[in-house]
Structure 1
């Protein structure tokens, strides 16, 4: 048996390559490189994946493109590896819309505020499923939408910059 680029030949056995799960953006890069006519062997070596993985990515091309176009991946396509959707898409969309509007207004939004708003939307939408808005739910929500940090400094917008500058000047002058 001739070793492929994805296997390592040992004196006794052939060891399989380590499992690699590509991000959504890497999968799109694979598709682009295949469409440009680059050899599959080169792509396999660069991404450390097998030929069947390339075939599966090509088969899922329209699904991947639709997922990215729908905005489901948001900014997280460099991090996300799966196209799993939330169980309650309408609720997720409503919470994310609320979150982006608050962020656009420059208002601070905490994790607790997001979960409370999600509970409110859940009751407003008459969702009868037993939904638990745990820390895990919040972590998944943030990952899905590419949210890294949620807290915005609350006093930043309303700070009096002139007073702060004068205070720095006077405190420096009093030291001399």
Structure 2
């Protein structure tokens, strides 16, 4: 962890969570010794318990050490809310789409001069622990419109030369 050699110690959210758990059953002096940090560092963690647990609960980046907010935090929060709504719908989301949505949201929120950059998006993704992953699962990956088109238009042509007794329905 960190040392008590007099150097400044900056703890990650994950480390602070571990300290909070240890404080449930031990005295601050003992926790400081266990984690090899100063007593005052342990004492500074407890007042921020609610915020630390909120970050951990909301899938925040647990390796983050400082809370630095963007001057355009309002746009970022709106974009994160939109991102989560789209994920619930199994929508495919990528960087250019998020940048375009951020620009739309900035105009809606009255920030006409905001121009989202790739760096801004990467920092936002890092703060909120967002990764672009391929949506998987049978239903999410299925092409519903293509399947319906095949059943209605292609399948009848394929089976038209067969006797209906020879056609097996699977489903």
The answer on 1:125 being equivalent to 2:109 is yes
Structure 1: gaps spanning 5 or more residues: 8-15, 161-176
> What's 1:74 paired with?
58
CA apart distance, 1:43: 2.4
> What's 1:107 paired with?
91
The correspondence for 2:10, drawn from 6, 15, 21, is 21
CA distance in 2, matches of 1:127, 1:72: 30
CA apart distance, 1:91: 1.6
Structure 2: gaps spanning 5 or more residues: 145-171
CA distance in 1, matches of 2:78, 2:105: 7
> What's 1:152 paired with?
134
TM-score, normalising length from structure 2? 0.65
> What's 2:123 paired with?
140
| 1:33-72 C-alpha deviation (Å, 9 max, x unpaired) | 23433352x42343332222123223xx2x4414643x69
> Matched residue of 1:109: which SS?
coil
Q: How many pairs align?
A: 141
Q: Is the 8 A contact 2:28 2:42 kept in 1?
A: no
Q: Which has the larger radius of gyration?
A: 2
CA apart distance, 1:73: 6.7
> What's 1:6 paired with?
4
TM-score, normalising length from structure 1? 0.63
